[in-house]
Amino acid sequence: MKVVRDLGADPEFPPRISQILRREFGVCPQLSSILASGFLGFWLPFSTFLPPAAEYSFRVVKVYPHDRTAFTQGLEYRDGFLYEGTGLVGRSALRKINLETGRVVQNFDVPQPFFGEGITILNQQILQLTWQSQTGFVYDKTSLRVLRSFSYPGEGWGMTNDGKQIYMSDGSSQIRVWDPVTLKEARRIKVMDGAQPISALNELEFVRGEIFANVWQTDRIARISPADGHVLGWIDLGGLLPKEDRTGADVLNGIAYDSAGDRLFVTGKLWPKLFEIKIIPKK
Ligand SMILES: [Ca+2]
């Protein structure tokens, strides 16, 4: 759609089209001008519906401790606690964490050879993906006991839900939508910013009717429409983790939303801190 935007914004566009019509197709000057104007009239209304995705920045509300050995792959908030899924073979786990202190109050070590990935909490269960094993786990939320496993094709990256459906990322530009009971794929959402597919979608969070997605190896979160996958906006979290905390830290990854308190939490892999932030328009 960027092409459309550029064409619509280009003052040279009608002359160019009319020149092409005259030169290449031998259309008389009067008719070529009329055709070119009509073409522009066709494109302009479309271009007005294609504003660029809005850019947002952040304001830090509060800083919490985060385990800097946790390779964060999934993060959710429920009733005063964070639930975190961590990765790396031999270091993967599912944890319940006290938000204020950062202390792990319950832990389940995911056995080798699994590489833990995204998690999501639905009703009284927690689901966890694994990276390349095509295997997911269902846990009892209270005991963190494994209830069962399930399988899916391809890779597992991030996961969230809206209470009715599960949304799952696999590192591509597509988000898979799963039935919450069968855990089978119902459809896919192609994530696009205008005409540009947005790939490497990682950790997910459902926030006020939108899907928020960390884009792997960037400081950016895409705000995605779950209806059609178009990017509604970008949150630039560059500079969130202070320089003095960056030694050993990996990329931004981990979004959790407290819907009752309207609090948004973000962290990263091996980050020593977790941040409550407010999203603000970028200046
Ligand atoms: Ca999340």
- Domain total of the chain: 2
Structural domain containing residue 25: 2-49
pLDDT tens track, the chain, 283 positions: 333 333 333 333 333 444 544 555 565 656 655 555 554 444 444 444 567 899 999 999 999 999 999 999 999 999 999 999 999 999 999 999 999 999 999 999 999 999 999 999 999 999 999 999 999 999 999 999 999 999 999 999 999 999 999 999 999 999 999 999 999 999 999 999 999 999 999 999 999 999 999 999 999 999 999 999 999 999 999 999 999 999 999 999 999 999 999 999 999 999 999 999 999 999 8
SS3 track for 94-117 = EEEEECCCCCEEEEEECCCCCCEE
**3-class SS of residue 13:** helix
Instruction: Assess whether 172 and 185 both reside in one domain.
Output: yes
Task: Tell me the CA–centroid distance for residue 204 and ligand 1, in Å.
Answer: 5
Distance 70 CA to ligand 1 centre (A): 15
Q: Which residue is listed with tokens 């009971």?
A: 181
Q: Residues 94, 201: one domain?
A: yes
List, as ranges, residues with CB under 5 A of the ion ligand 1.
Answer: 75, 205, 255
CB 78 within 8 A of CB 126: no
In terms of Cα–Cα distance, which of 277, 192, 283 is closest to 237?
277
What is the Rg, in whole angstroms, of the alpha carbon atoms belonging to the chain?
A: 23
Residues in Cβ contact with 261 at an 8 Å cutoff, skipping those fewer than 6 apart:
none
- β-pair type (116-122, 104-109): unpaired
H or E element in which residue 43 lies: helix 29-48
Is residue 19 located within the same domain as residue 75? no
The answer to whether residues 12 and 150 belong to one domain is no
CATH number of the domain encompassing residue 168: 2.130.10.10
Q: pTM, whole model, 2 decimals?
A: 0.82
Separation of 66 CA from ligand 1 center, angstroms? 15
141 in the same domain as 15: no
